[in-house]
Amino acid sequence: MAHWESSGVKSCVELLERYRAKGKKPYYVEKIVFEGVEGRDVYNITAPFLMGGELVIAGRVENRDSEQSEIHFFKRKEGKWVLQRDFPVLALQDPFYTVISGEVIIGGVETFPHPQKPGSLGWRTVFFKEADLVNRKPFFQGPDHMKDLRLVQLKDGSIGVFTRPQGEKGGRGKIGFTRVGKLEELSVDIIHEAPLLEGQFLDEEWGGCNEIHVLRNGLLGVLGHIARFDEQGNRHYYPMIFVFDPNTGKFSDMTIIAERADFPEGPAKRPDLVDVVFSGGLIRHSNGTADLYAGISDAEAHRVTIPDPFIAYEI
C-alpha cells in the first residue's frame, strides 16, 4: 500500500477540522475585478489559460437574481480582467478547460427544460474544441443530469474521464473514473459505466472534480470540491484535492485547501450560499506555491495563494 492511499471515508466536518488544525492561512488573497459586464456577477471562473495565443479567464456571468448564465472570456489589462467582446459567448454555466493533443477543450454545463418535471431544469456537461467555439457546436454532450464531467490526457496519450453520477448510482454526487483511447471513443454509455471511487464520500454529502493535473510521476492531481447541507438547509462547499493513480484505481484521502473564512467578506447570491467556495483552477509555481482561482458565494471570484497541495505526492 502506497503511503498516500486513502484511509477511508471522511466527512466534510472532519476534513475541515484537519484543515483548521494546521493553522495555516493563505499567503495572499485577491478579489478579481472584471470589467465590461456591469450589473452582472462573474463567478465560478477558470484559472487563466492560453486560448488563441491570448491569456484568458473564462467566467460564469449572470444577474444576481437569476441562474440564466453565460460563459464569457476576459483578458487581463491594467490589473483588471476585461471582457473580450470578439470572443464567443456560450449559454452555459461553470466553465472549465483542458488541453488534449495540443488542442484547447472548453466545457461547461448546459441547462434545458426537464423532460419529466414541468417548470424544472435538467443539465448536462458539454465540450467544445477551440476551433468550434465560433459555431457553438459541441463535439460531445455528456449524460443528462451529470455535472463535473472532466477529461485529462494521460502520459500514455489515452484520455482519463472523471464522472459524477447522481441518483441511484451516485446519490447526491460521487466521483467515478474510466479511460478511453481517444476523444472519438467517448460515449454516454462508457460514462454511465465508469466505476465509482468507492469509500470517498458519505452518502449525505457530495463532491466532484473541477480540474485535473498530471503530476511528474503519472499520478493525477485532482482539484475538486466537497459539499454538504447543514440542519437549516444551507450549503457548505469547500475546495479540496486528492491524487488518483489511473493504473491501479487507488486514491488518496481528500484534503481541504481553503474555506470561505479565508476570503474577504462579500455578497452572496442567496442566504443559503454564503459558505460556498467553488474550485475553478489551480496554477502551480516552481517556488512551492500555487494560485487557487475560485467562485465565492455564487457572487464573486477570488485568487488565493497557498502552498502547492500536490508537491508531497510527487516525491
- The pLDDT tens digits for 22-33 are 998 899 999 999
Average pLDDT over residues 112-129: 88
Share above pLDDT 70 across residues of the chain, in percent, rounded to a whole number: 100
Cα atoms in the Cβ-side hemisphere of radius 13 Å centred on 171: 16
Instruction: Tell me, yes or no, whether 6 lies in a domain.
Output: no
> Model-level pTM?
0.96
Share above pLDDT 90 across residues of the chain, in percent, rounded to a whole number: 90
Instruction: Tell me, yes or no, whether 164 lies in a domain.
Output: yes
Instruction: Tell me, yes or no, whether 99 lies in a domain.
Output: yes
pLDDT band of 118, cuts 50, 70, 90: confident
Instruction: Tell me, yes or no, whether 227 lies in a domain.
Output: yes
Instruction: Tell me, yes or no, whether 263 lies in a domain.
Output: yes
DSSP 14: H
DSSP-assigned beta bridge partners for residue 30: 303
CATH number for the domain spanning 68: value is 2.115.10.20
- The pLDDT tens digits for 254-313 are 999 999 999 999 999 999 999 999 999 999 999 999 999 999 999 999 999 999 999 999
Instruction: Tell me, yes or no, whether 5 lies in a domain.
Output: no
Whole-number Å distance between alpha carbons of 160 and 154: 6
Give the structural domain span for 94. 12-313
Between the alpha carbon of residue 238 and those of residues 13, 206, 246, 262, 315, the distances in Å are 10, 11, 24, 11, 26
pLDDT score of 1? 53
**Number of domains making up the chain:** 1
